[in-house]
Structure 1
Amino acid sequence: MHADGLKGATDEPGWEVDPDDDWGVAVVETVGRQLKLRREAVGMRVADFALAIGYGEDLVYKIEAGKRIPRQEYLDKSDEVLDAGGLISATWEDVKKVRYPKKVRELGKLEGQAVEIGGYECNIIAGLLQTPEHARAAIEAAQPPYSQDDVDRMVAGRMARQSVFERDPGPAISFVLEEAPLRRPLGGTMVWRRQLERLLEVGRLRNVTLQVMPTHREVHSGLDGRIELLKFADGTAVGRCDGVFNGRPVTDLKRLRVLELQYGTIRAQALPPGESLAFIEQLLGET
């Protein structure tokens, strides 16, 4: 393949290094340094190396300097050309995490360890349930707007968290979503339809309980905002609510009981799971 072809694919937004992410910077700089040392060890100039792997010289310089996150294809081709025996390709396991924002990595790690996940969302569809198109539309609607690089990074991170549905055995997961965001055609009709279809797909999984909170409810215990609850195999837990305890994560039993009481009451006020899926199917039929 011509160098310009792959250069464009890798030099797109979303692959820049976040300067505030110390761990991410260290990973990319280390990988770049190793790539440069291996290239020099076999006596290849940047121009020859770039031609051999099918990328532009400018991108090679950026990656070796730790200024650009290499894609998996770049690492695999480098491994082959430099005869690294899989050592370069193996760095992708750490490199791929760098593209996701630091906060998303930390949340994804906790979700990956949890045996129970509970969430109530009041203004949006929960990130674990969003399609890539819906996530992009939601993130791009923020004001002031994010840079394109940040948007791409945040979408990628949000999608990476959804690997929680691939765990076997999977955690017990429950969501309560407000009716209003389900009716909002964010991103256009086709994006909206695909999002509703995704909710039905996930809501039918054996380990997932999905409920809808109708707008017309005289009593609603979710007015303090979003709630997140994660429980782990060792009996510990962490929770957070936007309007309680200053929105900070809590781990002590007394405060966790407050969040669990709120979340349990919200679930009781919402539509049962079967009725909730029927409601989403009805919305889909109206689009």
Structure 2
Amino acid sequence: MEFTGPVEDNDDAAELFRVIGRQLRLLRERTGLTQRELGEQLGYSEDLIRSLERGRRTPQPDFLAAADELLDAGGLLRAATEDVGRAKARARVRHPAWFQDYARLETQAVEISFFSTLTVPGLLQTEPYARTTFAVRQPLLDERTIEERVAARLDRQEILTAWPAPVVTVVLDESVLRREIGGPAVQREQLKRLLVSSQFRSTTIQILPMDCEGYAGVDGPFILLTPKGKPQLGYSEVQGVANLVTDPEEVRMLAVRYGTIRGQALTPRESMALIEKLLGDR
């Protein structure tokens, strides 16, 4: 999980997990094991080993003890248990670990472009809509985690009204407007929120109609993000697996795709008219 509380605590915990991850990787490579082989011998998945080595997951005491013994670390990994415990005690769970890199970059963004085919982007969600998206997750999240995730998502929305706000463009597949996540009342309030958000000078919302025959979004949703003073990045997530795209050519192709999708979408005025029509039909 990602931990967050006072900013310095967040940074300290994240740096600690990265240091432990680097140590784990060096010890694993010294023994000649692959991530998959290490996971198999310890009873963990290859994805978990990869995430731990990148500092994206919290190393648990049982894992540290087992890895220390298997990799003949001489107590190096086991000794980190107390430091991890202190980091956990100083902070509280908010974003899932796989989301923390994107969340950090988002706070630095001068431009964000969303193409969404499943749900409204988190920056534009109402509280009931956001709560529903977490409550229906499988496996189920406990109530405390749901509340923490909702709070974290709503906190992110402050960048839309900050100054200077990032330039935000959003293309929503029309199906997102029609799927009643949380029920008719929740969806109605969410549609109203989209209308309000479209009035922000820095935010543009467009709808990609379902009758678009040359639909360029068949590969699924993604985000383009430009941190201040840094190159543009791409981001996507599927089933809780995040992919931060940094290769310039891959990012360029996403940007080309996004341009095509925007060109196929309704104009901002036409898009708001469609949302108003859907509200009138409810």
How high is the TM-score relative to the length of structure 2?
Answer: 0.65
Aligned equivalent of 1:221: 216
Contact 2:245/2:251 (8 A) holds in 1: yes
Instruction: Give the Cα–Cα distance (whole angstroms) in 1 for the partners of residues 242 and 87 of structure 2.
Output: 35
Residue 138 (str. 1) matches residue 133 (str. 2): yes
- The runs of at least 4 aligned residues of structure 1 exceeding 6 Å deviation read 22-26, 65-69
Q: How does 1:84-123 map to 2 (within 5 A)?
A: 98-123=93-118
Gaps of 5+ in 1: 1-19, 31-64, 70-93
Contact 2:129/2:182 (8 A) holds in 1: yes
Contact 1:113/1:232 (8 A) holds in 2: yes
Instruction: Give the Cα–Cα distance (whole angstroms) in 1 for the partners of residues 245 and 183 of structure 2.
Output: 38
Residue 238 (str. 1) matches residue 238 (str. 2): no
Quote the offset at 1:67 in angstroms.
11
Gaps of 5+ in 2: 13-84
Contact 1:241/1:259 (8 A) holds in 2: no
Q: 2:206 aligns with which of 193, 211, 219?
A: 211
Which letter maps to 1:187? G
Contact 1:229/1:237 (8 A) holds in 2: yes
Contact 2:169/2:204 (8 A) holds in 1: yes
Aligned equivalent of 1:58: none
Quote the offset at 1:151 in angstroms.
1.5
Instruction: Give the Cα–Cα distance (whole angstroms) in 2 for the partners of residues 24 and 102 of structure 1.
Output: 14
Which letter maps to 1:285? G
Alignment length (residue pairs): 206
Contact 1:101/1:153 (8 A) holds in 2: no
Query: Which has the higher Rg, Structure 1 or Structure 2?
Result: 1
Residue 149 (str. 1) matches residue 144 (str. 2): yes
Change (3 A) 1:161 1:104: farther
Residue 195 (str. 1) matches residue 190 (str. 2): yes
Instruction: Give the Cα–Cα distance (whole angstroms) in 2 for the partners of residues 223 and 164 of structure 1.
Output: 30
SS in 2 for 1:239: strand
CA RMSD of aligned residues (A): 3.0
Change (3 A) 1:149 1:68: farther
Instruction: Give the Cα–Cα distance (whole angstroms) in 2 for the partners of residues 22 and 150 of structure 1.
Output: 12
Please give the per-residue CA displacement for 1:75-94, whole angstroms capped at 9, x wherever unaligned.
xxxxxxxxxxxxxxxxxxx8
Residue 286 (str. 1) matches residue 281 (str. 2): yes
Which letter maps to 2:115? Y
SS in 1 for 2:138: coil
Aligned equivalent of 1:89: none
Same amino acid, percent of matched pairs? 36
Aligned equivalent of 2:22: none
Change (3 A) 1:261 1:242: farther
Instruction: Give the Cα–Cα distance (whole angstroms) in 1 for the partners of residues 184 and 124 of structure 2.
Output: 18
Quote the offset at 1:68 in angstroms.
9.2
Please give the per-residue CA displacement for 1:235-283, whole angstroms capped at 9, x wherever unaligned.
412112459xx96322232111111011111111111111001111111
SS in 2 for 1:248: strand
Contact 1:179/1:215 (8 A) holds in 2: yes
